[in-house]
A and B are shown apart, each in its own frame.
Chain A
Amino acid sequence: MNYEEDLDLTTRLRRISAEPEPDAPSTVYVFLDRVAAGGPVEAGDVRRGFPRLSVRRSRPRSFARLAAVMGVAAVLVLALSGTLLLTIAHPSAVTTSPRYPDLWSALEWQDITATGFPPANDQSGGTSTADLRIVTWRGAAYANKVSDGSLWSSTDGVSWQKIAGAPALDNLLATPDMLLGQSIAEAPCQLPDSAGVVRPSTCQLSSVGWYSSDGLTWNRSSLEIPAGDAISSWAAIGSTVVVLAGASDYGMGDPAKQTSLAYVSTGGSIWHASTMPDDMVGAINCYVVSTRAGFVVSGIVVDPAGPVQISGSNISIGSFEIHGYQRSWVSSDGLNWSVYQGSAEVSGAGAIAAIPSGMTVPLSLELSTVYVGSRGDVMPGIGHSTDGTHWLQDSDGPFNALITGQASFSSNGSQVVACGDGPSCYVTLGDGRWQALQNGGTVSNLPRQGQGWAIQGGLLWDAGGRLYFGRALTGVTLQQTIKVAPAPTPTPFTEGPTPPPLPAVSLTPVSEWSGTGNLVKLPAGPIGADQVVAWAHGYVALKNGPSGGHIQVWSSKDGSAWAAVPQGAFTGSTGQLTAIGDSVMLATWNDGNGIWFSSNGVDWARTTIGGPPIGDLPMAGSGLGMVAAMDEPEGQVMYLASPDGQWYGMSLPGAVIQTSKSIALSGSRWVLVGKMSNPKTGDWVPASWSSSDAANWKEATVTGADGQGFLSIVAGRDGFVTVSKATDSGGTASGPATLWSSPDGSTWTKLTTPLGADATLTGDGNHVIGCQVDSGRLACWSSIDGQTWTVLTFGTDAATLADWTALGANPRAFAVGDGVLIVTADGAWYAPAVVQK
């Protein structure tokens, strides 16, 4: 799925910066003025926090507040230390005086995976999907497993029973009297057949409503959302339920012309269409939330002059850009709606705005979900309210201020629980005060990165493909502790079974050169080529096009006679060539993406190769297969093995965060260079990994590096050469270049060569060639190991060598078999190598 087309998500992201943005403080300009005035500025001091000129606001000391802060901080520090402490339950618990008798204080965990209730079906990325919808109703928990529509119930959180005969549901909602559900149903529609004749068919999906007064027997309600539309959200206040629906997504039709629908029911069986203002009908991206004081719908009213912008594309109308205004509507009964008139200037935690009906809600409500506690409602990130009309910032502010990891919220109608990683959970009854929940029980290894649901009697925790139930204890403090496993290492990206290592190959003896013969200008050479690769049946050259243009490709069997592939055969203005198996692959991006394969260099077939998008990732290949390096997921390389055509992904050792720059291949030795983040300091350091089979990678030893990362790598038969520069600050490498060589990519040593900072280096896995223009004349050297360099004389035809600067900037030389191809913006030349006997 292209998540940039997820308009709900992207719109909400854009809204964040849609408000008037803070101005930079004057102190920043003062600092700049100091630069202008030529005052002394110590760069190192700046990084330590100087010359921040702002004055911290001083606040009155509050011992009570400070104590609360320290208490929460202490809990967090414990939870974050290398060893997470789990407290053993109950026998050693000490009774305490709780703030409220019913407020949970601890959870006694047990593994309930084998009890039949299925955990969420997707654990990728360490977070569960929305596969489970759980509500608490009449003293029992009801869980809807969306992926198969099944409905489960439990009265103790441990034993779960599947409710036979329930319809396949995809959502649940509880009111005091009814349990409500939604399901997706097929609906009759008209579709053209293969001859283009429109015929009745069954294709589109509609949403229908269900209700149950006992959780076991379900009846279909009158709610039916028309085909093509979908329920976007629903909310209940008492027995009154509001359903909001609209065009299912923006995959079809003009999103600017979408209409919203709202239905209301007071029991769940009979539904009525709401009376909505015209602007609400035409609004997009709408959803509804409930407070104790009324319903609030928020959406975007389409208006070309509006400040909110939504852009995207769909298959029907292509790219679109919609402008509009953010607007909210309120209703006390769900039937009649009016525009919310709150001041647009009011926002943020604790802010209150008036609306015509007399109730007041925070403007931020339009963006939040409300969780119901026994003593008040909770709005994550905003605060709490005891009446739904006045919202206050939580008094335990550190809870919000200190947790920067993602927390999941849930409520059983009484306790509102927020769980971070760990799980480290906090509970409130909705009065704005949060209490840390202790973890105890028989579970010795409670997985992290899961999802929690507060249900009757405790917390359900879904993590690591298993389910746990933490029985809630009140009024006790647990004493003993046990250790649990440390945080797991990230799950490596894998797209298939265990990868078979690529076979090692015996190197074909490569001729060594003592120089080159006369340079000859080619009549049809790859002028201006940016890349030349050798593959099983010759050579292919590529020149990138300007923005909006096309790449150019040439093919040659011997490196001296070239033929152009017809221009326009490929989409994209930028490309990259890679040998793979007995073929050569071209990947393009910018102004069009595509993958093409050729087995003769002349005829190219567009294809797909599966796996993650490779685009312009660093990659290299040969008859063995190809390897591409990915920065995301963090520190991964993957290879497309030939001939099985399967992608395999492997983690790079030590690469917590890594930026891959370049890969080179010599024989069966792959070496990847770039930089990675030092896990301890966060600073960039040069990094290199090598592998002899593409499946197992080893981190290299790099000492004494001047720069912050390796920028490129080329390979000769007996070694590799990589380049770093003096500074890599701000993402721009600059300063004198340093060359490094390594026989196998495991250790690196600095090189002293005739090549200067502006030299270009290329390599074909046999010969490395470095060239630069000295005083208008081209000077090149070759090496097969990166250590010993031979000057390439290009014969005695001095006239040919004169004034390379005039022939175009940045001449590049490529080894093509036993010859050298030189290209500039104006021409291409070839010189045969003088082979040592």
Chain B
Amino acid sequence: MALALPAGKGAVAFVQLVKTEIPVAYRLAGYLLRDEGEAEDATQEAIARAWESWSKLRDQDRFAAWFGRIVANVCQDRLRKRRGIRIVEINDETAGDLHARDAFRDALARDEVGRLVQALPPDQQVVVALRFWRDLSLEEISDRLDVPLGTVKSRLHYALRSLRKELDRQGKVSR
């Protein structure tokens, strides 16, 4: 489906609103997807999805939450599709990428807990990212993901419990 892109007030407002959200969206996608390139793709996909639904957004004051929800869902979908261990097709180009530095991957590699987050189910990863890397309240996460508050709480509980167990198991900190 080709998107109709009417020039004028709607598009201008859309661009203005999106521009303010791109940094936050890109970083959330980067931490979740652990790849600068895929974060870029995901951000663009979110922009495209948002543009598709732009005419249905009634309250532009809620744009940030609305766009953030789209970004989170895009990332969640991508995580689900690559669930489990990621297989990388080896060719000249990707062989180089395997050794390439990636700001998000590096950030997550600074602490073992960053690596462990990757092993959580996608739904839990998203909640952890929104809670600790975007500093959203539980209620804001519930709103952003369109899931009940209780679900947010349980996902966070299970995620943190898994991380703590694994950290303890590795004997990094005896408590």
A interface residue numbers (CB < 8 A to B)? 1-4, 6, 8-10, 12-17, 19, 21-25, 27-29, 31-33, 35-44, 46-47, 49, 51-52, 54, 56-62, 65-66, 69-70, 73, 76-77, 80, 125, 127-130, 133, 170-171, 182, 230-234, 249, 287, 347-349, 364, 367-369, 380-382, 397-398, 400-406, 408-409, 420, 451, 589-590, 612-618, 630-634, 657, 659, 677, 681-683, 727, 729-732, 734-735
Q: Across the two chains, which residue of chain A brings its CB closest to B151?
A: A631
Which residues of chain A are within 8 angstroms of B48 by Cβ–Cβ distance? 41, 43, 46-47
Q: What is the bound-complex CA distance between A281 and B162, given in angstroms?
A: 31
Q: Which A residues touch B31, using CB under 8 A?
A: 16-17
Q: Provide the residues of chain B in CB contact with A630, threshold 8 Å.
A: 151, 154
Can you list 26 pairs linking A and B with CB atoms under 8 Å apart? A1-B161, A3-B157, A10-B160, A12-B113, A13-B117, A19-B107, A22-B36, A28-B44, A29-B19, A35-B47, A38-B5, A41-B51, A42-B1, A43-B1, A43-B3, A44-B1, A51-B44, A129-B169, A231-B174, A348-B109, A368-B112, A397-B98, A405-B84, A617-B151, A632-B158, A732-B66
Within 8 A of A (CB), among B85-144: 85-88, 90, 92-93, 95-101, 103-104, 106-119, 121-124, 128, 132-134, 139, 144
Taken residue by residue from 22 to 61, chain B's Cβ proximity to chain A (1 for < 8 Å, 0 otherwise) reads as: 1101110011001011001101111111111100100000
The reply to whether B170 and A409 contact each other, CB–CB distance below 8 Å, is yes
Partner of B70, one of A8, A52, A632, A729: A729
Centre residue among B6, B87, B106, B122 by max chain A CB count within 10 A: B106
Q: Given A729-B52, A730-B70, 7 more contacts at CB 8 Å?
A: A9-B113, A15-B111, A22-B103, A35-B51, A56-B37, A369-B112, A632-B124
Let me know if A401 and B88 touch, CB within 8 A: yes
When the two chains form their complex, are residues B112 and A52 in contact, meaning their CB atoms are under 8 A apart?
A: no
A57 to B36, CA, bound (A): 12
**How many residue pairs bridge A and B at CB < 8 Å?**
341
Instruction: Please name all residues of chain A whose beta carbon is closer than 8 Å to the beta carbon of B30 when the two chains form the complex.
Output: 22
Set B66, B87, B124: member contacting A80, Cβ < 8 A: B87
Q: Which of B18, B46, B53, B150 has the most CB of A within 10 A?
A: B150
Residues of B within 8 A of A (CB): 1-3, 5-7, 11-12, 14-15, 18-19, 22-23, 25-27, 30-31, 34, 36-37, 40-41, 43-53, 56, 66, 69-70, 72-74, 77, 80-81, 83-88, 90, 92-93, 95-101, 103-104, 106-119, 121-124, 128, 132-134, 139, 144-151, 153-158, 160-175
Q: A31-B44, A31-B47, A615-B153 are in contact. Are A38 and B111 (CB under 8 A)?
A: no
B175 touches A249 (CB 8 A): yes
Contact between chains at B92 and A24 (CB < 8 Å): no
**What are the 10 A-B residue pairs with the smallest beta carbon separation, nearest first?**
A615-B150, A59-B96, A3-B160, A730-B70, A406-B119, A130-B168, A24-B26, A682-B81, A731-B146, A367-B111
Question: In the bound complex, do residue A46 and residue B44 qualify as a contact, i.e. CB atoms below 8 Å apart?
Answer: yes
CB pair B41–A49 under 8 Å, yes or no, is yes
Q: In whole angstroms, how far apart are the Cα atoms of A405 and B120 in the complex? A: 8
Cβ–Cβ < 8 Å partners of A9 in chain B: 113, 160, 163-164, 167
Cross-chain contact A16 with B118 (CB below 8 angstroms): no
The answer to whether A633 and B158 touch across the interface, beta carbons within 8 angstroms, is yes
Tell me if A3 and B164 are in contact (CB < 8 A): yes
A730 touches B50 (CB 8 A): yes
Task: Give Cα A378 to B60, complex, Å.
Answer: 51
Query: Least Cβ distance of A249 to chain B in Å?
Result: 7
Identify B121's interface contact among A8, A70, A634, CB under 8 A: A634
In the complex, are the beta carbons of A24 and B40 less than 8 A apart?
yes
In the complex the two chains form, is B88's CB within 8 Å of A729's CB?
no
Known: A43-B3, A69-B95. A402 touches B108 (CB 8 A): no
In the complex, are the beta carbons of A616 and B150 less than 8 A apart?
A: yes
* Residues on A with beta carbons closer than 8 Å to the beta carbon of B154: 612-613, 630-632
How far, in Å, is A99 (CB) from chain B's closest CB?
20
- Collect the chain A residues with CB atoms within 8 Å of residue B90's CB: 66, 69-70, 73
In the complex, residue of chain A having the shortest beta-carbon distance to the beta carbon of B46: A730
Q: Is the CB of B110 within 8 A of A364?
A: yes
Contact of A14 among B5, B23, B132 (CB under 8 A): B132
Q: Once the chains are docked, how many angstroms separate the CA of A1 from the CA of B52?
A: 43
**Which residues of chain B are within 8 angstroms of A125 by Cβ–Cβ distance?**
161-162, 165
Residues of B within 8 A of A37 (CB): 5, 7
A61 cross-chain contacts in B, Cβ below 8 A: 92, 95
Check B110–A15 contact: CB distance below 8 A: yes
B92→A66 contact, CB < 8 A: yes
List the A side residues contacting B167 at CB < 8 Å: 9
Q: Are A57 and B118 in contact (CB under 8 A)?
A: no
Q: Which residues does chain B contribute within 8 Å of A348, judged by CB atoms?
A: 101, 106, 109-110
The reply to whether A17 and B27 form a contact with Cβ atoms under 8 Å apart is yes
Least CB distance, A57 to chain B, in whole angstroms: 7
How far, in angstroms, from A58 to B77 measured CA to CA in the complex? 29
Q: A22-B104, A70-B90, A249-B175 are in contact. Are A41 and B5 (CB under 8 A)?
A: yes
Residues in B with CB closer than 8 Å to A409 are: 170
Is there an interface contact between A349 and B40, defined as CB atoms closer than 8 Å? no
A56 neighbours in B (Cβ, 8 Å) = 37, 93, 97
B153 touches A613 (CB 8 A): yes
Q: Would you call A42 and B2 a contact (CB within 8 A)?
A: yes
Contacting pair B80 A58 (CB below 8 A): no
Complex: A364 Cα to B132 Cα, angstroms: 19
Q: Is the CB of A233 within 8 A of B174?
A: yes
Contacts of B53 in A (CB 8 A): 727, 729-730, 732, 734
Q: Given A32-B15, A381-B112, answer yes or no on A46-B169 (Cβ-Cβ < 8 Å).
A: no
Pairwise interchain contact A38-B7, C-beta atoms closer than 8 A: yes
Asked if B40 and A57 make an inter-chain contact with CB atoms under 8 angstroms apart, the answer reads: no
Q: A591 CA to B148 CA in the complex, in Å?
A: 15
Tell me, in angstroms, the Cα distance from A420 to B84 when the chains sit together: 12
* Given A127-B165, A614-B150, CB of A369 within 8 Å of CB of B18: no
B92 contact set on A, CB distance < 8 A: 61, 66
Docked Cα-Cα span, A731 to B155, in Å, equals 17
B107-A404 in contact (CB<8A)? no
Residues in A with CB closer than 8 Å to B115 are 380-381, 406
- The smallest C-beta distance from B81 to any residue of chain A, in angstroms, reads 4
Asked if B147 and A734 make an inter-chain contact with CB atoms under 8 angstroms apart, the answer reads no
Contact partner, B139, options A80, A382, A590, Cβ 8 Å:
A590
Chain B residues with CB under 8 A of A69: 90, 95, 98
Report how far A400 CA is from B169 CA in the complex, Å: 20
> Whole-angstrom distance between the alpha carbons of A409 and B1 in the complex?
49
